[in-house]
Amino acid sequence: MSNVIFEAGQYSKQIDECISKVGQIYLENKFIEENDLLLEDIKKVSENDRIKVVFIGQYSAGKSSIISALTNNKDIKIDADIATSEAADYSWGAVNLTDTPGLYTENTEHDERTKEAIKVSDLMVYCITSDLFNQYTLDDFKRLAYDMKFKDKMFLVINKMSKEAGEYDELTKNYTITLNKSLDSHNIDEFEHCFIDAKDYREGVEDNDKELIEYSKFEILINKLNDFIKRKGQLGKLDTPIVVIKNSIDNVLLKLVEDGKNKNYLIVLNRMSKRVSAQRHKAKNDAYSIMRAELNRIVDKGYEISQKIGVEEVDFSENDLNELIEDVCNNINVQLQESVEENINELNEQVKDVLESEPAQHFMNDVEASSKGGFNIFKSKEKKNSKIQFDALNDIVSKISNGTVKLATNGASKGANVLFKSTDAAGSTVHKSVTAIGKKLGVKFKPWQAVNISKNIANVAEMAGPALAVFSFIYDVKKTIDEEARLNKIKTAQYEYKQSFINIRDELEKQYSDEVNNYLNVFTETCEMIDKEINNISNDKKNKSEASMELQKQKEILSSIQDKIYKR
């Protein structure tokens, strides 16, 4: 522990030196308000000595239940649906536990509140259920852990273990194998983690049921979380002011390059980038919402039938399963094709809106003023820059909407305008690409014909004989004298049958996800095209600005401290 305290003191001193240097640069360049805001934010962070642990993850993963169990706070709202709409803090000894809205609730405000909570967190507890990662939570977990480099401040909790039949040790062993496969080249042992059931623990405490408390494994979580906070908390708190300073530097770097014509041009590009990015987010949510709602019908049917095994006769054939899958996929196909068309049309409208904004008109007026005498005589550096920027914007607009940017012909007072027709978008690069994907996702797309899915359907049919022929099954089970063994045999059959439906759902989801990702890549490539133009301008100005170079240097120092804190 003494070594940790020594490192914390050393890094804290380096952070203070960065704050001082950044403040000096701000004042020398007349960024008075930015300096005051930075000092105010740092003061707020330093005044909060309590370690802040934020609980995140998909809704209904049990974040509120876990916090309620840890704090013994029975007033925390717990629901099978979305129980938390705002980030809320709860005290746990010397630690603040922050409950957040779930991710992927199709409510962008919830996602934003969760992101804000993550920004000011010292440590994170990522919650999933015994269903483990799905396509959405896995992407989010990897992004936080590896892209945003939060891996060393994340604790993974797998909740609701009692949903599944089987021995705890065997389940955790199987889940660990599955989780490692999901993480590809990474491993679950890179993270502190725990398998629990918070609901069982809360009920065990209320009923004074020691056996249920022990079965929940929740006390293991308490011990592991305590140890995690002790080991990571002190250094984790140093990460929070670093994030605050780096965000402040980024804001000032943008202001350093926003001058004259570049300012309006950057505003237009930034707005367009945000609109395209937001439309991509909506397109993704729309697509996965459609997939999730329909594919869950397959899992629901598996749950329904599995519960009848060993209890009553079940009439569900391979043909029934094939009909269910085909109906689910056809519904997804139709809805996805409609969603693709809707989102590309909305994107076109978003671009029109940006180009009709005041900053866009100011930029076009400036370009027109620089082009007096015709575009063919751009001789000065300023005129060449205007021509390059104008052409770059035209290329972006043409790619997205097939619209044309046109300078005003009757004086600068009315500014430039953009020519659009309702049919123009059909000829754009984005629209052609998306339409091609939309057709593939149409009614002719038959993902259930993939080899792995067909194999899983065959497995269901193969299992259906012994599992669903209830009389022979019960007869076989009755030969087992031991009651516990008999029940275990039923539970195992139920679990394996249910899992086969989950496997089919997962394989179908993978087939659809591959195509949907191709669709989303069109939006991503457009964002990259815009961002490349933003970077061209920003980098050019930054290279010439001593203040920018000094601030970039301080960012590098802060990033280096972060690497040392978590030994990345």
In Å, what is the CA distance from 66 to each residue of 70, 92, 200, 291? 6, 12, 11, 29
What residue segments make up the domains of the chain, in order of their start? 2-256, 260-558
Q: Give Cα 244 to chain centroid, integer Å.
A: 21
Q: How far apart are CA 424 and CA 348, in angstroms?
A: 9
Q: Indicate the SS3 state at residue 154.
A: strand
The side-by-side arrangement of strands in the sheet containing 154-159 is 88-92, 95-99, 51-57, 123-129, 154-159, 192-195
- Please write the tens of the pLDDT for every residue from 82-122: 445 577 888 887 688 888 886 655 556 766 777 778 877 88
In Å, what is the CA distance from 429 to each residue of 115, 127, 280, 387? 33, 40, 16, 23
Q: How far apart are CA 259 and CA 366, in angstroms?
A: 13
Q: What is the dihedral of CA 143, 147, 150, 151, to 10 degrees?
A: 80
Name the token pair of 116. 């804000």
Place of tokens 């960065």: 18
DSSP assignment letter at 411: -
State residue 197 phi and psi, 5-degree precision.
-140, 105
Beta strands in 121-279 (DSSP E): 123-129, 154-159, 192-195
State residue 156 phi and psi, 5-degree precision.
-100, 125
pLDDT of residue 82: 42
Least Cα distance to 105 among 142, 60, 145 occurs for 60
0.85 exceeded by pTM: no
pLDDT of residue 421: 41
Q: Give Cα 308 to chain centroid, integer Å.
A: 37
Q: HSE-up of 488 (CA within 13 Å, CB side)?
A: 8
Least Cα distance to 221 among 177, 143, 161, 164 occurs for 161
In Å, what is the CA distance from 343 to each residue of 211, 275, 284, 530? 53, 12, 10, 19
pLDDT in tens, the chain (568 residues): 334 444 556 777 888 899 999 999 988 878 899 999 999 988 887 777 678 899 998 778 888 899 988 888 766 554 444 445 577 888 887 688 888 886 655 556 766 777 778 877 888 999 999 888 887 888 889 988 888 878 888 999 999 998 888 889 999 999 999 999 998 888 898 899 999 999 999 999 999 999 999 999 999 999 898 888 877 766 667 777 888 898 888 888 877 765 545 778 888 888 888 888 888 888 888 988 898 899 989 889 888 888 887 777 767 777 888 888 889 988 988 888 888 888 888 888 888 888 888 888 888 877 777 666 555 444 455 566 677 777 878 777 777 765 556 665 444 444 444 444 434 445 555 556 555 655 665 556 677 666 566 666 766 756 655 555 544 444 455 555 567 777 778 888 888 888 888 888 888 888 888 888 877 887 888 888 888 888 777 666 555 567 888 888 898 898 888 777 655 4
- Please write the tens of the pLDDT for every residue from 315-337: 777 788 888 888 998 898 888 88
- What's the CATH architecture for 2-256? 3-Layer(aba) Sandwich (3.40)
Least Cα distance to 225 among 360, 51, 371 occurs for 51
